[in-house]
Amino acid sequence: MISSHINTVISTMGSDPMQDHDIMEKAGEVLRRGGLVAFPTETVYGLGANAMDACAVKKIYVAKGRPSDNPLIVHVGELAAVEGLVESIPEAAVALMKNFFPGPLTLIFKSNGTIPTETTGGRDTVAIRFPSDKLAQRLIKASGVPIAAPSANLSGRPSPTRAEHVISDLSGRVDMIIDGGEATLGLESTIVDVTGEVPLLLRPGSVTAEMIGAVVGRINRYSFTGGEEHEALAPGMKYKHYAPNAPVTLVIGEQDKIAEKIKQLILLNHDKKVGIMSAEETKGKYEALGAEVITLGSINHPETIARSLYAALRELDEKGVEVIFSEGFSEEHLGLAIMNRLKKASGFNIINV
């Protein structure tokens, strides 16, 4: 059993090529002998273990405090590794892999049984992702095994986009944390189930529904409001996710009305420490009202909002705010993923103006 007194080695990449090489060799070795290594990817930091080693994978669940029926994504370092893990690669998957691997896309295949049930949460399917992050690729190659990796946060905390987030959640619970700087995208990978006739979007991400539709013609998607059927398909969705300590209220609707409503809410909560998550364009509206305003990014550059969202949630926790009000954004393209995470952070506590 993992207890909370593991000696966690923290290694920072990028200072010297020889040292980087040594860090990668060491991390590969830790993974091969059944240890846990947290590492950066282009989406969020992952907590890796050898996906073929049931014992190692069990340690992930303990370290995160994650329910063991919630399956893990298997990360591979080359396209050719996929076929050894799955029953077959459907036509739609071939097209999606060609367009988006390596990258922030996870595909759910029928498993051929190679990956142990501890990794797949007892399912007959397996989730596979080929990350584009060079450091993640190097680590997978150095380990010589496929790497099972959920986001490297404690269960129920926002996913980590910086090494400091991982250190604050998992220090003393894992063998090694590799600091490779800030994750460039900031939201977890898009998940698409390709086991059915029509690909099914299970989790929106930086590879957008529109991008996938353009490649495969048709894609089914959920409204992502929870519900039993959805839970059965994407077990991770049933657990409370991405939630900061303070309750979040998400305000959606017309942009001007959103700001007006949030101003009202700040005044109504004058006796509390209030946190606001705002776009660059509207932050000025809340100044002078005494709230902690965190700017997520620009409405015209949703990738800036995606990149800073989880860090903002953590920052508001650290500031000890008692309530959080967030602006809602367009749900087109990357906006669907941003709003999916914001809705979950709010526990679907949404005001429509």
Contact predicate 103/41, CB 8 Å: no
Q: Locate the DSSP E strands across the chain.
A: 9-12, 37-39, 46-50, 73-75, 105-110, 125-129, 147-148, 176-179, 190-193, 200-203, 220-221, 248-252, 274-279, 292-297, 323-327, 350-352
Nearer Cβ to Mg ion (235/253): 235
- How many residues in the shown chain lie near ligand TXA by CB under 6 A? 27
Q: Which one among 13, 20, 27, 41 touches ligand TXA, defined by CB under 6 A? A: 41
Which segment (84-92, 120-128, 275-283, 337-345) binds ligand TXA by CB under 6 A? 120-128
| CA trace torsion 280, 241, 233, 189 (10° rounding) | 50
Nearest-angstrom CA–CA distance, 10 and 19:
13
Residue whose CB is less far from ligand TXA, 148 or 293: 148
DSSP 160: P
Return the number of the residue (50 or 151) whose C-beta is nearest Mg ion: 151
- Taking the complex as a whole, the smallest distance from the CB of residue 353 to ligand TXA amounts, in Å, to 31
Q: Could you tell me the smallest distance in angstroms from the CB atom of residue 343 to ligand TXA?
A: 15
Which of 126, 252, 259, 277 binds ligand TXA (CB under 6 A)? It is 126
- Identity of the residue, 190 or 278, whose beta carbon is nearer to Mg ion in the bound complex: 190
Q: Which of 119, 143, 151, 278 binds Mg ion (CB under 5 A)?
A: 151
Question: For ligand TXA, which residue of 28, 118, 129, 248 counts as binding (CB under 6 A)?
Answer: 129
Annotate 191-221 with b (16+ C-beta within 10 A) or e (fewer).
Answer: bbbbbeeebbbbbbbbbbbebbeeebeebee
Q: Indicate the residue among 132 and 151 with the shorter CB distance to Mg ion.
A: 151
Cα 89 vs. chain centroid, distance in angstroms?
A: 25
Report the alpha-carbon angle 78-80-81, nearest 5.
75
Which part of the chain contacts Mg ion (CB under 5 A), choosing from 143-151, 166-174, 203-211, 222-230? 143-151
Q: Are 212 and 107 in contact (CB under 8 A)?
A: no
Name the token pair of 232: 């059965």
Binding flags for ligand TXA, 232-261, as an x/- string (CB under 6 A)? --xxxx------------------------
CB atoms near residue 260 (< 10 Å): 15
Residue least distant from ligand TXA (Cβ): 236
Q: Which does 127 bind (CB under 5 to 8 A by kind): Mg ion, ligand TXA, none?
A: ligand TXA
Q: Is 106 in the site for ligand TXA (CB under 6 A)?
A: yes
Q: Residue 17 contacts by C-beta under 8 Å, 6 or more apart in sequence? A: none
Residues in the site for Mg ion, rule: CB under 5 A?
151
Residues in the site for ligand TXA, rule: CB under 6 A?
41, 43-44, 46, 70-73, 106, 108, 120, 123, 125-127, 129, 149-151, 188-189, 191, 202, 234-237
